[in-house]
Amino acid sequence: MLIAITRDVSPSIEQCELTHLEREPISFEAAQAQHEEYVQCLAALGCEVRRLPAEPTMPDAVFVEDTAIVLDEVAVITRPGATSRQPETASIAMALEPYRELRFIEAPATIDGGDVLRVGKSLFVGMTSRSSAEGIAQLRELVAPFGYTVTGVPVTGCLHLKTAVTQIAPDMLLINPAYVDPLVFDMHSIEVDPSEPFGGNAVLISDTVIYPAAFPRTRRRMEQAGIRVQTVDASELAKAEGGVTCCSLLFTVADDNRVSSMRS
């Protein structure tokens, strides 16, 4: 069973952190409606969605991806690089505790989940303003016992590694080579259309990619390569510098769990 943890949009979303974008008005109602569509899309693709309530005092709390790195064996609760976002992790730790043993990134290290791209047993971590060298070193120590390698990756011009590159098929990445060097990854890749620099962020769920409607040219490139794409309108949270991966924490649990809970 595939679980998706999401959190409803905060009414204070307009006070979000911004790094590479100019601030512009964000409609809470439009952001809520688009987030709802995203949640429905996750459910339609077979995820069991666990929705957390909005956090009125945490503008960026909808971007749950940044608060944890959930692996098959363990979940690492991050220490987000933006101080305003650090209170977001407590409720995420509680939400993940039933499913995984927890480990924690400790101060002063920082790391954002948006910087962590997992491909099999390899974790690539963006060396960005949000993820410190010490954060990357702590992650390496925490996951080594489970057989994962951790590689720091230079990123330029965007917030997180996964703004620049995400996985769209078992053997395929979607990448913006202006933000990250494709040679770092020993995998086939599709490049974003140069007119769509923020088009590198997609969510892969089984054989379907959830992808923003705002990038039709890159979408066509994926479809021509045989990738099945489901578009969503993610334009309002994009003004808060969020993409489609940011709004969920995805992980599998054994179906037995569901069977035993249904029997009890």
Please indicate whether residue 246 is annotated as part of the active site: yes
Cα–Cα separations (whole angstroms), residue 132 to 123, 135, 136: 15, 5, 6
CB 81 within 8 A of CB 129: yes
- H helices of the chain, in order, are 28-44, 89-96, 133-143, 161-164, 216-224, 235-238, 255-263
Q: CB nearer to ligand CIR: give 16 or 172.
A: 16
Please indicate whether residue 160 is annotated as part of the active site: yes
CB atoms within 10 A of CB 41: 19
Among the listed residues 16, 41, 47, 160, the single catalytic one is 160
CB 158 → ligand CIR: shortest distance, Å?
A: 9
User: How far is 57 from 47, CA to CA, in rounded Å?
Assistant: 28
CB 191 → ligand CIR: shortest distance, Å?
A: 20
Q: Which two tokens stand for residue 20?
A: 């590479």
CB 214 within 8 A of CB 235: yes
Q: CB nearer to ligand CIR: give 138 or 201.
A: 201
Q: CB nearer to ligand CIR: give 65 or 142.
A: 65
Q: Which two tokens stand for residue 140?
A: 């390496």
User: How far is 78 from 69, CA to CA, in rounded Å?
Assistant: 7
CB 244 → ligand CIR: shortest distance, Å?
A: 9
**Binding region for ligand CIR (CB under 6 A):** 16-17, 19, 60, 63, 65-66, 82, 85, 114, 159-160, 163, 240-243, 246
Among the listed residues 41, 158, 246, 247, the single catalytic one is 246
CB 128 → ligand CIR: shortest distance, Å?
A: 10
CB 3 → ligand CIR: shortest distance, Å?
A: 18
User: How far is 109 from 194, CA to CA, in rounded Å?
Assistant: 34
Residue environment code for 228-237, b if the CB has 16+ CB neighbours within 10 A, otherwise e: eeebbebebb
Q: CB nearer to ligand CIR: give 1 or 91.
A: 91
Q: Active-site residue numbers? A: 160, 246
